[in-house]
Amino acid sequence: MGVEVELQRLIEANMEAMLGIRFLATEYRTGHHGGRIDSLGLDENGTPVIVEYKRNRDQNVISQGLSCLWWLHDHHHEFES
């Protein structure tokens, strides 16, 4: 857990320089979906970008990725302005 938090802080502090993504929020709550997004940003086109930090490679990682995709689909209007 400690390594994940350190990595998250490092990437968020340098997200624009490293990835070309404007950092918006950390641990962003996804409301009724009951989850959270580790790091949320916008790319150069204003498209939302979700960054998740994982050490595991099990199917829960895929499930969380799909949940993020569904959340983005349901909340695209939050990023239109």
**Count of structural domains, the chain:** 1
Q: pTM for the complete prediction?
A: 0.81
The string of pLDDT tens digits covering residues 24-47 is: 999 988 876 678 889 999 999 988
- CA dist., res. 58 & res. 71, Å (int): 21
38 forms bridges with which residues in the sheet? Answer: none
The string of pLDDT tens digits covering residues 61-80 is: 888 888 888 888 888 888 77
- CA dist., res. 50 & res. 40, Å (int): 5
Q: What's the domain range around 71?
A: 2-79
More confidently predicted of 15 and 52: 15
Q: What is the pLDDT of residue 23?
A: 97
Q: What is the pLDDT of residue 25?
A: 94
